[in-house]
Amino acid sequence: MDKGRYIWCRKCGAIHHVTDFDRYPGYAGADDEALPANDWRDFMARHAGHRLEPMTATGNDPFPSGSVGDPMTVAYLEVSNGAETLLLRRSRKSIDVPLDYEIIKGALVENGVSLEIQEQAIRKEMKLHFRWSPAAPLSDEQISRFVSLFRQIVSGIDPADAQDGLRSDRDEDVSYCRLDAASIENLIESCSSCFPPAELASLRRFIETHSAADDVMALLKRRAVAVQQAAQ
């Protein structure tokens, strides 16, 4: 989440994000000496005499159009002065230039939440798990059957009942939810008609071992957020 203070020039519409990097030195070349900088002071000088408004992030998460860890990701966030709220589009033209903040006429609108399973992570972990499990390794077909049963169980869970746990460090709109005991039992019961007792016992150990909020059996709660453009 993009936290911090902002300055809004009401005359120009320019936005400056006040950060610890305001005084981060620049370099003309790879081997050149550091060039002193003060982005906040430069912004204030460019807009001297203009009406400037202090703004603060509302806490409404950005809506990344790419990976959060990608410095080139375009994101949206809200800032407010207590009376007015602005939607900002955060972007940059290249990695060598500072982030740019553009005021967008619109708002962030939530379109509900959904639950997903970590299919690829489950498949990978099951192949590792059953190398040392007392039961014989599961075939790809059996793993696919388990994944399908798990997806079916999750489809019947109300997202509102899934308690948010860890926030994803790759996607601001995703959090991990621990699989609850009732869902575990429902999944094991569903598996009982498809797997023999030895494999079922091993599957139970796998599910219970990997059901923590930071493990592969945790559910992904995805928030659907869209940018709603204001009517012209």
> 151-197: per-residue pLDDT in tens?
999 999 999 888 777 777 777 778 899 999 999 999 999 999 999 99
DSSP reduced 3-state for 160: helix
d(CA 169, CA 68): 7
- pLDDT tens for each residue of 113-162: 899 999 999 999 998 876 656 667 888 999 999 999 999 999 999 998 88
CB 81 within 8 A of CB 95: no
Give which of 97, 101, 123, 115 is closest to 16, Cα–Cα: 101
Q: What is the DSSP letter of 23?
A: G
Model pTM score: 0.66
Domain ranges of the chain: 5-104, 112-225
CA distances from 162 to 68, 76, 166 (A): 24, 26, 12
Instruction: Identify the residue with better confidence: 155 or 214.
Output: 155
CB 63 within 8 A of CB 75: yes
Q: Which pLDDT score is estimated for 34?
A: 47
d(CA 221, CA 55): 30
